[in-house]
Amino acid sequence: MKVLVLGAGVVGTAAAWYLAEAGHTVEVVERREGAGLETSFANGGQISACHAEPWANPTVLPKLLKWLGREDAPLVFRWGRWDPALWAWGLRFLANCPAGRAAVNTERTLRIALYSRRCLQDLRAATGLDYDQRTRGILHVYRDPAEFGHARTAARLMRAHGLERSEHDSAQCVAIEPALAPIRDQLAGGILTPDDESGDAHKFTRRLAERAAARGVTFRTGTAILGLEREGDRLTGVVTAAGRLTADAYVLALGSYSPLLARPLGLRLPVVPAKGYSVTAPVTVPASAPTVSITDDEHKIVCSRLGDRLRVAGTAEMAGWDPALNERRWRVVLDRARALFPSGADWSRAEPWAGLRPVTPDSVPLLGPTPIRNLWLDTGHGTLGWTMACGSGKLVADLISGRKPEIALDGLGLDRF
């Protein structure tokens, strides 16, 4: 079968890889000059099943009120203009805040995240791909005892779904990651997820694209998709700046841009962009830069050691499809990075970056079939696209190949909305 994958972020590239492995003829269409140059470029680097708790949960509304009007808040809304799709998304987000809904969404996210982590590990073992990966786990740290208490409850739920997590006091946190020693007295405790990982998503995507190309996948880079053509319940072609392309099956993996291309087909995908920022700086004193990936949960900041660089990422700005760097926002991330690891990196040389996370109201991606029979979804991965890319790609490749996926699909598809 010939399959066109639309988008060469980490998600589309992983799908192309697994489709080629399944024996299909695969072409990838991407507007940028290479793979992984948009949201997959400089993210937090974490393979974090431990972040399965959705944004919509019972604690978020009081926090949103507290953060209102604060430019340094972890989450900022700038929905000044009237866009019915944005407000419909907001209502669905609210509907997913009760504890019962959050527990359902945590299970769904964990299902795909744990599967994806296994797929990534298998892929790495099979290919020997190197992308500055670290496998010492992810440690969540807390200053506020109340936040630590809430996190322990969430951790129990995740443990019940098969994710190993252990609780630690401040001294144990420093024993796990000695680079935390300067802030030891501030810590109320931490939660370690030993089997989570970290690595450079862009390096991974670029190198996987090279491997995929070597086994016959065609990457049409520098090719903007202008529109999708539909006749009845089938997609008949893709209109690009370089002409029309056709295939037997199509995978929509355009990240935050998926809903914009799907809307003219009559498909309403509840995905909105949430802009996040990262700063990356050269490591100066290796012993002061962590090798365990760290999450500062109260500030919603993650930190990963990528070779001789330290990457700190976080914050969310709901401000439409504007990828511009807002200096006040990335400086918030930089200040937090300095506060966490003051002598770990040369922060005066930090490079800022911004990317648009494709976020669904329940934080679960959109995977699988659509009412258009030969169009498949692999999008809406939000804060966990790097974590879930391999499992999502394998699952979609299995579905297109007529094979039973290795995990249950219920609750992961468009039919839940």
Ligand X SMILES: Cc1cc2nc3c(=O)[nH]c(=O)nc-3n(C[C@H](O)[C@H](O)[C@H](O)COP(=O)(O)OP(=O)(O)OC[C@H]3O[C@@H](n4cnc5c(N)ncnc54)[C@H](O)[C@@H]3O)c2cc1C
Binding positions for ligand X, rule: CB under 6 A: 7-12, 29-32, 37-40, 43-46, 48, 224-225, 253-255, 257, 276-278, 302, 313, 355, 357-358, 379, 381-387
How far out from the chain centre does Cα 248 lie? Answer: 28
Q: How far is CA 332 from the centre of its chain?
A: 21
* Closest distance of CB 12 from ligand X, Å: 5
Q: How far is the CB of 98 from ligand X (least distance, A)?
A: 25
Q: 173 or 359: whose CB is closer to ligand X?
A: 359
The conformation of residue 59, written as its DSSP 8-state character, comes to T
Instruction: Find the angle CA(289)-CA(193)-CA(13) to the nearest 5 degrees.
Output: 80
Among the listed residues 260, 255, 259, 261, the one whose alpha carbon sits nearest the alpha carbon of residue 269: 259
Least CB distance to ligand X at residue 351 (A): 13
The least distance separating ligand X from the CB of residue 81, rounded to whole angstroms, comes to: 21
Cβ closest to ligand X, residue 97 vs residue 388:
388
What residues contact 134, with CB distance under 8 A and at least 6 apart? 197, 198, 199, 291, 292, 293, 304, 305
- Beta carbon nearer to ligand X, 188 or 275: 275
**How many whole angstroms separate alpha carbon 110 and alpha carbon 412?**
11
Q: Give the nearer residue to ligand X in terms of CB position, either 187 or 274.
A: 274
User: What is the C-alpha to C-alpha distance for residues 281 and 406, in angstroms, rounded to an integer?
Assistant: 39
Q: Please report how close the Cβ of residue 357 comes to ligand X at its closest, in angstroms.
A: 5
If the CB atoms of residues 176 and 388 are measured against ligand X, the closer one turns out to be: 388
| Rounded to 5°, angle at Cα 322 from 200 and 241 | 85
Smallest separation, CB 213 to ligand X (Å):
16
74 vs 382 by CB, closer to ligand X:
382
- Give Cα separations from 288 to 179, 188, 345 (angstroms): 5, 21, 8
